[in-house]
Amino acid sequence: MNRVRATACSRAMAAALLALAISLSACSAAGPPSIVGEQSLRIGVKADQPGLGLRLPDGRFAGFDVDVARYVAAKLGVRPDHITFVPVTSATRETALENGSVDMVFATYSITPERETKVTFGGPYYVAHQDTTVRRDETAIRNVHDLKGKRLCAVAGSNSWKRVTQELNIAATLVPATSYSECVAMLLDRRVDAVSTDDLILAGFAAHEGSAVRIVNAPFSDERYGIGIKQGDLAACEAVNRAVSAMYLDGTAAALLHKWFGQTGLQLDTHVPQFEGCG
């Protein structure tokens, strides 16, 4: 009788262990844990881009990307005081998501095929266009092709300079920098001749610097700003896409765009962007 009981107990234990293994396997196949349902979020934003993501002297962050992040987080059920903004650069966005130091990234993060191999993107939440900024007294640069032979600022981790020199095969002389704020400083100091990147970024700096710089207003690409999420979190991707749709439909997107860029002269698009899809 004891032997029968022991055998039954062993079989029950084996069945339980098998069920647990199957359950763990299913969880692993389903992808990483989702941030949907979390009560707090760490969100990566730029700290030195006026109009988009700028850390103020009191430590707060302000800008279009920051406001969009707050709106999306609220739609996910996260209160404003439960958001921690974490500064990221163009070179650290993927790493911050991969190592878990942030849960999402709103940082002028253009969606590209290469980046999609490392990050799941929600959105886009805006479609910007690459343009070029020069000093106010510069007359020789009227469009991207005039950058041939000119000193062009190249930010680490950004695709903007690659689009000029690699995709368009324009023989500009690249001058490395760590951020676009450094690029603008180098432009004003005459260490570079031009800065070429998304028009929203350029507009923010142009507004900040006043009459010292100008945008040439010759756009040549579409830059789809995505919401960076840890690779495989499809539930979060779908949730943020619903939030972005609501942001455009209820008028918040138009209000935020005009709040931050209404005085810059840019043609602002207030229609819902075409989403990438989360599958």
Q: Which CATH superfamily is domain 130-215 in?
A: Periplasmic binding protein-like II (3.40.190.10)
- CA dist., res. 248 & res. 243, Å (int): 9
- For residue 151, report the phi and psi dihedrals to the nearest 5 degrees: -85, 115
234, 210, 222: which is closest to 269 by C-alpha?
A: 222
pTM above 0.85, yes or no: no
Q: Where in the chain is the domain with CATH 3.40.190.10?
A: 41-127+223-261, 130-215
- How many C-beta neighbours within 10 Å does residue 52 have? 29
198-213, pLDDT tens digit by residue? 999 999 998 888 889 9
List C-alpha distances in Å: 225 to 38, 77, 108: 24, 23, 6
Place of tokens 């062993």: 10
Mean pLDDT throughout 7-24? 44
pLDDT value for 263: 85
Residue 19 has pLDDT above 60, yes or no: no
What secondary structure letter does DSSP report for 274?
P
Per-residue pLDDT at 18 exceeds 60:
no
Which overall architecture, per CATH, does domain 41-127+223-261 show? 3-Layer(aba) Sandwich (3.40)
